[in-house]
């Protein structure tokens, strides 16, 4: 009898990416990759989240995560700081290991999620490092095939989008990966679903709710950091602390792939005002 999948509670899903400073490698050897995953496992226990997928390349990594009770920025700060300390200490080097702030566009739909899953797991194939994603040991692909223990990875929900039976879901997942043949996407390094027309439709009430939830969570985090009431953040006040918090929120939302129009509506400003803040980065 086929085993049913256990699906966890809902939350916000982000495609997290970070690159080496100046394009330099952040993983020199397999020991580096093992230590990164060990640190990731410890951070996951301390600040629980769901890790749907990951792939460690040479000068960058991808993760697909669903967060609930903990802020993504806090999770990533712990991960990147601890790994940078290890990497620099091992090689007796100084300076920034990672290039600026990590990127984390919001994944705003199930179809987008499975496209990202495919994109992340096919990264080594597109980079011509292997011919089959199962040959790359530094991704979560083999967990989805059942060929490796899940452990760090939480594949239940993504697999449930393929089928309710674990066995059938794994088969359909593999078929979905093998169906990818768009060389154009490999060249651009962008999943098809990342194109604007493939994302959630703002006219759809479900998509609007997801975006509103993401904005609210980010606003709450920013307000806590700047000690500003959320009504001031979204209000007409021009106090310096509120204005600084507002700019911080706009930049953080933009980093996560939220559209200027949605940000403008949330904080009751014009889209032109949002674009001005985005274009005048410090």
The answer to whether 99 and 22 have CB atoms below 8 angstroms apart is yes
Q: What is the CATH number of the domain that holds 220?
A: 1.10.1750.10
d(CA 24, CA 37): 19
Residue 120 sits in the same domain as residue 217: no
Residue 191 sits in the same domain as residue 243: no
Residue 213 sits in the same domain as residue 251: yes
Q: Reduced to 3 states, what is the DSSP secondary structure of residue 55? A: strand
What is the pLDDT at residue 108? 74
- The model's pTM is 0.66
Inside any domain, residue 5: no
What is the pLDDT at residue 7? 54
- Print pLDDT tens along the chain (282 aa): 445 555 555 678 999 999 998 889 999 999 999 999 999 999 999 998 999 999 999 999 999 999 986 788 899 999 999 999 999 999 888 889 998 788 888 887 888 899 999 999 999 999 999 999 999 999 999 999 987 776 899 999 999 999 989 999 999 999 999 886 543 343 333 444 433 333 444 444 445 556 777 888 888 889 888 888 888 888 888 899 999 999 999 988 888 778 888 888 888 888 888 888 887 755
Sheet holding 50-56, edge to edge: 50-56, 60-67, 12-19, 106-107
Residue ending a domain, choose from 197, 223, 252: 197
What is the pLDDT at residue 196? 35
Please count the other Cβ atoms lying within 10 Å of the Cβ belonging to residue 35. Answer: 16
* Domain total in the chain: 2
**Residue 93 is part of which domain span?**
12-197
d(CA 262, CA 265): 5
């Amino acid at each position: 009898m086929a085993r049913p999948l256990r699906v966890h509670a809902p939350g916000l899903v982000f495609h997290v990416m970070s690159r080496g400073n100046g394009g330099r490698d952040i993983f020199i050897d397999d020991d580096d990759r093992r230590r990164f995953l060990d640190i990731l496992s410890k951070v996951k226990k301390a600040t629980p989240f769901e890790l749907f997928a990951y792939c460690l390349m040479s000068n960058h990594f991808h993760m697909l995560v669903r967060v609930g009770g903990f802020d993504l920025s806090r999770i990533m700060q712990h991960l990147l700081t601890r790994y940078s300390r290890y990497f620099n200490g091992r090689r007796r080097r100084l300076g920034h290991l990672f290039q600026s702030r990590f990127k984390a566009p919001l994944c705003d739909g199930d179809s987008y999620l499975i496209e990202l899953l495919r994109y992340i797991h096919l990264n080594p194939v597109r980079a011509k490092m292997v011919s089959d994603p199962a040959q790359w040991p530094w991704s979560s692909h083999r967990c989805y095939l059942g060929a490796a223990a899940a452990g760090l990875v939480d594949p239940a929900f993504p697999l449930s989008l393929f089928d309710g039976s674990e066995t059938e879901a794994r088969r359909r997942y593999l078929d979905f990966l093998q169906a990818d043949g768009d060389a154009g996407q490999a060249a651009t390094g962008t999943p098809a679903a990342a194109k604007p027309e493939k994302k959630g439709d703002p006219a759809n009430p479900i998509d609007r709710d997801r975006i509103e939830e993401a904005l609210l969570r980010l606003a709450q985090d920013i307000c806590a950091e700047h000690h500003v009431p959320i009504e001031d953040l979204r209000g007409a006040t021009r106090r310096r602390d509120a204005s600084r918090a507002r700019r911080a929120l706009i930049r953080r939302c933009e980093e996560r792939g939220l559209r200027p129009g949605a940000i403008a509506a949330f904080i009751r400003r014009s889209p032109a005002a949002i674009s001005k803040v985005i274009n005048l980065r410090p």
